[in-house]
Amino acid sequence: MDALLLVDIQNDFLPGGALEVREGDQIVPIVNDLQAFFELIVATQDFHPKDHGSFAANHEGKKPGDHIVLGGLDQVLWPVHCVQGSQGAKFSSLLKMDKVATVVKKGLDKQIDSYSGFYDNGHKRSTGLSNYLKDKGVKRVFVTGLAADFCVKFTALDALEEGFDTIVVQDATRAVNLKEGDFDKAMEELRSKGAQVMLSRDVVKMIS
């Protein structure tokens, strides 16, 4: 079975949000159209406590883009985003959610960040997504969402590590691009690790 993963398509990552991804809203119609071709759809949701350690505002003298050590790992600091219960943490109102089988929340532990939908950044705790997919008989995952150079990339890398055939839908993701070219670097890294990177039209041809 195939599964479509919708990674963090939340208001704070869309234009006007606290951590907006440029053109992030442009993926929503593509993702919505893709849903028609999948029996199993799973969404991930960044869901931080307001005192999360990845927020620059929680570290005196620090600003977004600075680096600290968090949970024993290098951590880029972000604006406050996707706080539990906030409007910014909600999924885009334009995103179709009626076929989403389950929502996997991540980033709940204030002591460590969690880009991937499968594990925290230190791989100390699983979200349960891998077991959920395997229990459903999933062999192949198609990854969409935000952002290409962080949560999408790390979700896809963990999917590979968990033994899933992994396809990243190139036109159904956008990058933060802290550095110019980060989108292309992310796609190159994913290919080098064994993921396929495909356009949505080619995905539809493959599975329909």
Domain boundary assignment for the chain: 2-50+84-207
Residue type, 93: S
Counting every residue, how long is the chain? 208
165-174, strands of its sheet edge to edge: 100-106, 40-46, 2-7, 140-146, 165-174, 196-198
151: annotated active-site residue: yes
**CATH code assigned to 2-50+84-207:** 3.40.50.850
- Which position among 25, 106, 113, 153 bears the catalytic label? 106
8: annotated active-site residue: yes
Query: 29-79, pLDDT tens digit by residue?
Result: 999 999 999 999 999 999 999 999 999 999 999 999 999 999 999 999 999
193: annotated active-site residue: no
- Which position among 2, 151, 153, 158 bears the catalytic label? 151
- Which position among 8, 12, 25, 158 bears the catalytic label? 8
Task: Indicate yes or no: pTM above 0.95.
Answer: yes
* Residue 76 to residue 64: CA distance in whole angstroms: 8
Query: 143-168, pLDDT tens digit by residue?
Result: 999 999 999 999 999 999 999 999 99
